Structure 1
Amino acid sequence: MTAGTIVLLRHGRTAYNAALRLQGQIDIPLDEVGRWQAAEGASALLASHRATRIVSSDLVRAVDTAGAYARLVGAPVEVDVRLRERSFGDWEGLTADEMAAGWPAERDEWRRGGEPQGIGAETKVEVAARMVEAVLEHAERLQGDESLVVVSHGAAISLAITGLLGLDAAGWRGISGMHNVHWSHLHRSAPGAVPGWRLVAHNVGAGYPLDRWQAGPHADLEPEPKSA
């Protein structure tokens, strides 16, 4: 058998997210906003999906996001290194301006959807293959009426969805990036159908306006008046 539902959940915000730095596989923790997002997102996700099994990337920002949901479900978090973010090699930790300054041609190629050469990054095909392998392996341990929640990372999730839909990970760019602690929901197709999974919802969150979600729990507080 295999799970009837797969939910792919992106981790909460980190300091690198806030500074628009490419994280890749650098192990950055959640910041204050990210911890709030994880808690709020966990409650919202629970309202529509109660996982039988929860599996996370081993990077701490994903593990802690998974933990917020797992505490509500009452299930453990399993860790799988195959669910890590795509490795971006020499670009990890850099801003877009820093990448463009050091590797202008490679940066332009990446923005066009190509594969930058000479920076030590994983290819999109490699990431899609390991993500799909891990997701399906965990899903196959469940029954058709059960749900798998996978907590991972933005680029890795987009490539996983591309692979699960049977599309070309190297060249197809039809999946938009996901916001922090937003999720995508795939449902198993009928036996023998191609592809084996259908995308039911994408980039779903807790219902906050995006600017409020990115600003965090104190964004709506008025500043204290200054004394005369």
Structure 2
Amino acid sequence: MTAGTIVLLRHARTAYNAGLRLQGQIDIPLDEVGRWQAEQGATALAASHKASSVVASDLERARDTAAAYARQVGLEVVTDPALRERSFGIWEGMTDAEIAERWPDEHAVWRSGGEPPVAGVESKDAVARRMEESVLRHAEALGAGDTLVVVSHGSAITQAITRMLGLDPATWRGLHGMHNVHWSHLRASPPGVVPGWRLVAHNVGAGYPLDTWQSGPEARQ
């Protein structure tokens, strides 16, 4: 058995997101805009998908985003460290410009879609494998009429979807990165159909213009 629907939701904004700093597995809380995004996104997601189970990365920004949605649907959040963001090792906490200045060759490899040989940087394939294993393990506890909502992180979600669609996370770059508190919706394929999951929607949000969404509620005044 498996859930018929999986929704993968990216966490809300943090100060590192606002400052364009690479977060990776640093445990950063939501900022004020992020807390607003989490509530608005939770309402929008609950109107479209009522989860049977909500699981989240154990990092605070994902847990708190998941909690906002879980309150809407009357569930508790289950945390799983396997749903953490991709590790970026010694690059974590830095801006793109800082990385490019200190590691110009490795930065060029990264930005071209390659795997930079930098201490602690997790490969896309490794991220995809641990994410897929975790998502499917939680999905297998549910039935065909159920929905699993997974709250995780931008790069981790992209790699997971790519692998679940039967594509190579190391080389295929056909998905646009996800905005904060936006989600992707996958449906289980019929038995025997490859790949086992189909992408129904990607990078769906609460319906605000992107500049308003990124700036927060004061942008509407």
Answer yes or no: is the 8 Å Cα contact 2:89–2:118 preserved in 1.
no
Give, in angstroms, the shift of residue 88 of structure 1: 0.2
Alignment of 1:61-80 (within 5 A): 61-80=61-80
Cα deviations by residue, 1:113-140 (Å, 9 ceiling, x for unpaired)? 0000033200001000000000000000
2:214 corresponds in structure 1 to: 214
Which consecutive residues of structure 1, in runs of 5 or more, have no partner in the other structure? 222-228
2:42 corresponds in structure 1 to: 42
Residue 212 of structure 2 aligns with an amino acid whose one-letter code is R
Alignment of 1:120-199 (within 5 A): 120-199=120-199
Give, in angstroms, the shift of residue 61 of structure 1: 0.1
Which consecutive residues of structure 2, in runs of 5 or more, have no partner in the other structure? none
Secondary structure in 1 matching 2:157: helix
Give, in angstroms, the shift of residue 169 of structure 1: 1.1
| Distance in 1 separating the partners of 2:96 and 2:143 | 44
1:92 corresponds in structure 2 to: 92
**Mapped pair 1:55 → 2:55:** yes
Deviation larger for 60-69 or 112-121: 112-121
Q: Which segments of structure 1 move beyond 4 Å, counting only runs of 4 or more?
A: none
2:82 corresponds in structure 1 to: 82
| Distance in 1 separating the partners of 2:84 and 2:178 | 15
| Distance in 2 separating the partners of 1:44 and 1:118 | 39
Secondary structure in 2 matching 1:13: coil
Give, in angstroms, the shift of residue 213 of structure 1: 0.2
| Distance in 2 separating the partners of 1:91 and 1:204 | 29
| Distance in 2 separating the partners of 1:215 and 1:189 | 38
TM-score by length of 1: 0.96
| Distance in 2 separating the partners of 1:28 and 1:118 | 22
1:224 corresponds in structure 2 to: none
Larger Rg computed on CA atoms: 1
Residue 3 of structure 1 aligns with an amino acid whose one-letter code is A
| Distance in 2 separating the partners of 1:58 and 1:41 | 19
Cα deviations by residue, 1:74-107 (Å, 9 ceiling, x for unpaired)? 0010000000000000100000110001100000
Residue 125 of structure 1 aligns with an amino acid whose one-letter code is D
Alignment of 1:10-25 (within 5 A): 10-25=10-25
Secondary structure in 2 matching 1:143: coil
| Distance in 1 separating the partners of 2:220 and 2:209 | 12
| Distance in 1 separating the partners of 2:187 and 2:118 | 38
| Distance in 2 separating the partners of 1:138 and 1:181 | 21
2:9 corresponds in structure 1 to: 9
1:225 corresponds in structure 2 to: none
CA RMSD of aligned residues (A): 0.5
Residue 30 of structure 1 aligns with an amino acid whose one-letter code is L
Secondary structure in 1 matching 2:39: helix
2:112 corresponds in structure 1 to: 112
